[in-house]
Each structure stands twice: as C-alpha cells, then as structure tokens.
A and B are shown apart, each in its own frame.
Chain A
Amino acid sequence: MALREEILTVIEKNSRIGINELATVLGEDEINVANELKAMEDEGIISGYHTMIDWSKTSIDKVMALIEVKVTPTRGMGFDSISERIYRFPQVSSLYLMSGSFDLMVIVEGRSLLEVAEFVNTKLAVLDTVQSTATHFILKKYKDHGTVLAKKQEDTREKVSP
C-alpha cells in the first residue's frame, strides 16, 4: 500500500491522531506525512473530519429516516439536477443514486417524527420530478460507520499468559 492509503486506513478510524503519532506508527517522516495530508485535503480525497455521536444518549432528540424516492430523470441532466434540488435541503444528511427498484436514497434528519414527515410532505414529495416516496424511520442504530454502538466489550483474556 502506498503512503496515502496507509494514512487513510489509520485516520479513517481515528481522525484525531496527531501527526507525530501518525508518522511513528507508519514508520515515516513527519514532514512527508504532513505534506500528504495537506495534499489529500486539497484534492478532496479527505473531505472532512467528523465526529461520531450517539445522540440517543444525549438530551437532544434526533429522528432519522431513510426515504426511497422514485424520480423522472430530466433530459440532458439525468438525475443530477433533481438530486441537487434535494440535497440542498439542510435536513438531508446523505443522498445516494441507487440501482434497483428506486432511484434515490435520501437520508433525512430531524428533531421529531412530525418534522421529518413535514419535510417529506411539503418539500420532497411535491417536487415535480418526484414520482413516489417511501419513508422508513430508523428505530435503533446498532452499528454505524463500522462502529458497534452497543456497550463496549470487556477484555476477558487472562491477565498473563505464555
């Protein structure tokens, strides 16, 4: 694996790692690593550093829904123009073009069921090119971004072994 991919593998799971430690664990020069990071940020390979939060453990209520959307693509623009009209809404946290029985998967976040329903009814479903929507509310997150959200497992190994 080239240095870039090595860096990405490490920071994908831990974006808070310091340059110094990152260079150490990769057996690389700090300056090289810093340069590569900067270059990858500039090129948009690294497109952001986010924090994984389990909101269900806080006092803030969040509701998430996954909405299957069927649309009519427009001549010359395909799905791009309708997609843009959808993703510009701040309520939309992710948007994917899909293969299969529907076209767009829209992931929407809101403070309440009502708020999300309101968004679908008044903003999304009414768009001209939208043929149909099917809204699925997320009830519980077990695993997100490769991370299991359940209680952390204890180390059950014997403390000392040959």
Chain B
Amino acid sequence: MRNPLSNKITEIKPSGIRKFFDIVQEMDDVISLGVGEPDFDTPWHICEEGIYSLEKGRTFYTSNSGLKDLRVEISNYIGRTQNVFYDQADEIFITVGGSEAIDLAMRAMINPGDEVLIPQPSYVSYEPCTILADGKPVIIELKEENDFRLTAQEVEDAVTDKTKILVLPFPNNPTGAILEQKDLEEIAEVVKKHDLYVISDEIYSALSYKEKHVSIVTIPGMKERTILINGFSKAYAMTGWRLGYACGPKEIIKQMVKIHQFCIMCAPTTSQYAAIEALKNGDDDVEMMRKEYNRRRLFLLSEFKKMGLECFEPFGAFYVFPSIKKYGLTSDEFAVKLLEQEKLAVVPGTAFGDCGEGFIRISYAYSMDNLKVALERLKRFISTLQK
C-alpha cells in the first residue's frame, strides 16, 4: 500500500506537551500546576446568555464573519481599551478560539519560502502553523536577562530579505513576559523599516499586572500591518466556548474569512451570544479575576524566593517561568522526577521551544489552597536536589 500520509504533516514534530500529558494521565493523585486555562468558572451572567440563546432557538449558523452585534462590541472594546478603531464590517471577524486566527493569518499571508520570525519560548502552534502554510519558521530565542522580552535588535538580527512576518506573542505563554510601550515602539521601527507584517497574539491582554496592556496597533503606522488576535478564553474564563477573533487590514481579513468560510463556516453560535454579554457587562469580572491572579503571582514569587528558586518577575498571563539550571537537570528530567517523586505536574520549558531548556512553566490558574499544597511538594523536591 502506498503511504497514506502527507510528508509535510509527518515531518512536523508532535507537541512536547503531549508527551508529558500522556505520562501524567497514567498517574493517580497528581497535583498539577500544568494547566494553561483559567480555574474560574465562566461568569454566570455570560453562561446565562448562552443558555437563553438556546432557549430562544438561536441554533443556526451565523454569518461567516460572526454576529454583527458581537463585532460591534469587539470594535467598542478595542476602542475603549486601546483607543484604536476597527470597522466591524470588514476589519473584524470571529474565529474558533485565538488558535484558529493564528492558523488563518499564516495561511492568508505566507507564500512558499516566506520567513516568519517566531520568538520562543512561546505558545506551541506558531511554528507548525507556519510550516503548514509553507512558510519557514525562524526562531528568535528570547533571553532571561531581558526578562524574556523581545528586543528590536533581536528582530533586526533575524531579518533577511525573505522575512515577511513577525509573531508577537505578548503577554507571553509560557514566560509571563510582557512588552511595554517603549519596547513596542522600537520593534515597530524595525518592522516598518523592513516592510514586515505582525501577527500580534494578545490573548492574555486582559491579564497584565503592571501598566495596562498596550497593543502594537496603537503605534502609528502599525495598524496597517498587523493582524491583532484576541479571544474570550483567558480574559473571561471561556476556554471551552472556543471563541476568538482577528482584527486587521480589510484585504487580509477578507482572505482569512475566505478560508474560515470553507473550513469552519462560522464560530459556535451559542458562544457568540454569550460573548456579546461578556463584552457588554464583563469588565468587573475580568478585573476581579485579574486581581486574584495577581495575588497568587505575588505569593508564588515570594515563596520561590524563600525556597531559593530563581525566577524573573513576570507581569502578564498566569504563568511563572523559574530557572532550574542550578540543579543540574534538564527541564524534562526535572519535570519527570518531580512528577515521580512528588506527584506534582509542571510543564518543562522545552515544550515551548528549545530555548526553554533550563526552565519550567508553572501556572497559577489554581486556588490558593491548591498552590500551597503544590509549593510544599516543590519545596521538598528541591531540597532533595541540593546537597
């Protein structure tokens, strides 16, 4: 029989997190700090709107680009948080989570051989999506000494005449790093100088613990060359609703919607109705959750300090990314040993790129009680490593 598979897909290496997930699944009584989604329930008033839409029989497709009311609310939201205007008619559309938007942006913009700059450690899908779109991923290794921020110089050094896109994954999963106004301005200069486009994945934008999150689209000349991706999963604790959106120049959005129309039709209708409520009346919920995450963040950092675990201070998302270099184990070894000895699951930094070696990702999307038990285990584990 001939090989049923595409070479392109078989050559993509499986997600590093998957392998670890399989080990964890086999074990009982594992306490996990490995989850990449909020621990809060979706605020009830948002669920209620979803339920109500079902009761009203709103169970049909929406337009390809999503409910107009939702696009209007998204336009308002970006207006009030970033002071940038996107036209709901042709500059915004609704996707199945931010991840679909990443895929579509790549497919709509990449020609074979185009280079895509991907800062790592970062979310697992940028590299495979680039490859699936026949682009060439070029990895920029972010550095701990820069607090895992992307610098303009790093972009400049990675640019070639084939570079077309820069992925901007901030606030960052897994490091929790953010970019601030000044960082963005400098990066924007390089982007404009080399005529690049930006895919800015701002799914964690609502979870920023220093200043309010600033989007690169606020920098003059950047809205025209940026696909802004965001969604409801992290801000409103709506991961299972699978709802995100993309905003950008209408000629790019038009092509993204074309792909979306052929392979997705439209994002889930129930979720879209719920999301309208989220944007209309959810600001207080987001603020409540942000504050709670921040308390946990401060608590973790303080506990790390006490147990001698080195960690830069991250100001975004709900992750901390401590260094485990001094224990003489690889990230994988550390995570596996920690799991075997203490039944505590964390994700090895290498799941987010080779340069995650020497780090582990710890999520604080857990209750304080849970965090305390987990930290006890981590502390005990570390003390067995130090002679």
Partner of B35, one of A10, A24, A161: A161
Nearest residue, chain B, Cβ from A21: B299
**Cβ-defined partner of B298 (8 Å) among A24, A158, A160, A161:** A24
User: What residues of A have a CB within 8 angstroms of the CB of B124 in the complex?
Assistant: 162
Check B34–A161 contact: CB distance below 8 A: yes
Q: A27 vs B301: C-alpha distance in the bound complex, in angstroms?
A: 11
What residue of chain B has the Cβ atom nearest to residue A22's Cβ?
B295
Chain A residues with CB under 8 A of B298: 24-27
Q: With contacts defined as CB atoms under 8 Å apart, how many contacts are there between chain A and chain B in the complex?
A: 53
How many whole Å from A22's CB to the nearest CB in chain B?
9
- Number of A residues near B (Cβ < 8 Å) is 15
When the two chains form their complex, are residues A160 and B299 in contact, meaning their CB atoms are under 8 A apart? no
**Complex Cα–Cα for A9 and B25 (A):** 37
Listed residue (A14, A21, A158, A160) with the most chain B CB atoms within 10 angstroms of its CB: A160
* Docked-complex contact A160 and B32, CB < 8 angstroms: yes
At the interface, yes or no: A155 with Cβ under 8 Å from chain B?
yes
Contact B302 A160 (CB under 8 A): no
Query: If the complex has contacts A25-B299, A26-B295, A27-B298, are A159 and B123 also in contact, measured as CB distance less than 8 A?
Result: no
Q: Contact between A24 and B302 (Cβ–Cβ < 8 Å)?
A: yes
B82 to chain A, nearest CB (A): 23
Known: A160-B17, A160-B347. A25 touches B32 (CB 8 A): no
Please, which residues of chain A bring their CB within 8 A of the CB of B24?
Answer: 159-160
A159 touches B35 (CB 8 A): yes
Asked if A161 meets B302 with Cβ closer than 8 Å, knowing A25-B295, A25-B296, A155-B39, the reply is no
Q: How far is B295's CA from A159's CA once the two chains are assembled, in angstroms?
A: 23
Asked if B291 is an interface residue, CB under 8 A from chain A, the answer is: yes
> Which residue of B123, B291, B368 is within 8 Å of A162 (Cβ)?
B123
Pick from B25, B30, B123, B295: contact of A10, CB below 8 A.
Answer: B295
**CB-defined contacts of A27 to chain B, threshold 8 Å:** 298
Is A162 within 8 A of B15, CB to CB?
yes
**A1-24 Cβ-contact flags toward B at 8 Å (1 or 0):** 000000001100010000001001
Known: A9-B291, A24-B302. A159 touches B296 (CB 8 A): no
A158 to B296, Cβ gap below 8 A?
Answer: no
- B312 CB to nearest A CB, Å: 16
CB-defined A-B contacts under 8 Å, sample of 7: A24-B298, A24-B299, A157-B37, A159-B21, A160-B17, A160-B21, A162-B173
